[in-house]
A and B are shown apart, each in its own frame.
Chain A
């Protein structure tokens, strides 16, 4: 089956993008208060996002600090090609990548697990529908970072497929694969937990 997916990559920018671009322009002009505004808006979402990449809170705060310092230095080169949110998440991801590489903890990828996402409903999903929320949340914490990452980006940070693709530097098809794989792996984790009970 062939169909076109159109993802709204910019509708939120139309609503708040211009105002945020101006905040970055003020940061570029050296206004510390504007950086504080960015921090108030994004420190917590970024912290939550980084928590998907590593569970070391001390390291996350280090990465977060590096992220805002890098944003301060790079603000004058921000030209609005991406939303401020994607830009900041991109910087945070790059900083996390560097920090984890220095500690020999590579961000894992799911190349081996990649499979073409099916556009057909799967019949075996009752276990996911019927699981209570806490069990499902626990199962999500057992996913590999690469799968937890797309779930958080999609449902907590509400990025579009296109924004996730831009941030993670992968094609949109890979985002769909990762979401589909995450769902399948969650089902497997819950099924294993049920049989062990």
Chain B
């Protein structure tokens, strides 16, 4: 705060005694010399006093606590009788997914769909089988990774603060969004593979093997980095990593590969796949374990104003 500047914005917090010592001292120093701000303080004092008067009449009915206990008793009694808890869990999970779907950035769905569609068009247009499969193997992991960078965190979700103060835990929020976005990208890649299989006569399984493990690994890596640092760092990291792989492999591919199997061998996937899967799963587990400890959300109490 600039010395001598008016302190109107701080007066409600000052009256509440909710200012840090430094700000409080500055407000008090300013109030000693500023008649206008002292008048403002009187206004807020009057408003505060009138507001407190509103609270006097507010009290729930005396039997409300009893009603709450009754409901909890009924809950406890009903739980085993309702039968398969699996059904209840499934219903809860379904509700959770439906609740989280609108909170995922809309751009993710559109961007993933369009990029995959473009990749499929390129892959179909090319007559070379290895280049067609190479295109899909290149695009599917990056599309999924970009989606993962934006599923969680205050930058991505203005509702996160309230979501974490309600009965849904951060882990469940992350898991449900992960299921939605990764599931969607998985579906896109499967549809793309089916289309390429139909047009080029590829074998489906080798084609899926080509992108699945890298997709899992790159997505999990991006998610972990976005939680630890920021979505931007995660996105750039994924691009750099995948770009390096592309440069390294494209020359090999052009010289030697003619089929999907050749592309897979060029990617070194028959050897890499198990490791990528294990690493991807480990990163996912880390992200799920870490998310409740991620302290970047919530206002930190300090802000600058113009």
Contact = CB atoms under 8 A, between A and B. Distances in A.
Given A44-B58, A152-B55, A120 B8 contact: yes
A182 to B, nearest CB: 8
Interface residues of B, number: 70
B298 A119 contact: no
Given A3-B2, A7-B301, A131-B46, A90 B39 contact: no
A68 B301 contact: no
B6 A65 contact: no
A3 B158 CA distance: 25
A53 interface: no
A151 interface: yes
A4 interface: yes
B32 to A, nearest CB: 15
A90 B160 CA distance: 12
B48 A155 contact: yes
B110 interface: no
Contact of B43 (A79, A117, A118, A128): A128
A3 B5 contact: yes
Contact of B6 (A35, A73, A119, A167): A119
Interface in A121-149: 121-122, 125, 128-129, 131, 133-134, 136-137, 139-141
Nearest to A90: B165
A37 to B, nearest CB: 11
B8 A48 contact: no
A131 to B, nearest CB: 7
B304 A137 contact: no
Given A118-B8, A125-B40, A128-B46, A140 B305 contact: no
B42 interface: yes
Interface in B279-306: 292, 297-306
Given A2-B306, A4-B304, A137-B54, 8 more contacts: A10-B301, A119-B5, A134-B50, A136-B49, A156-B52, A161-B13, A169-B158, A182-B47
29 contacts: A1-B2, A2-B304, A3-B2, A4-B302, A5-B9, A5-B13, A6-B20, A8-B19, A8-B20, A8-B301, A9-B299, A32-B72, A44-B60, A61-B61, A69-B72, A72-B72, A87-B165, A90-B165, A90-B166, A119-B6, A119-B7, A128-B47, A136-B50, A140-B51, A140-B54, A152-B51, A156-B52, A161-B18, A183-B44
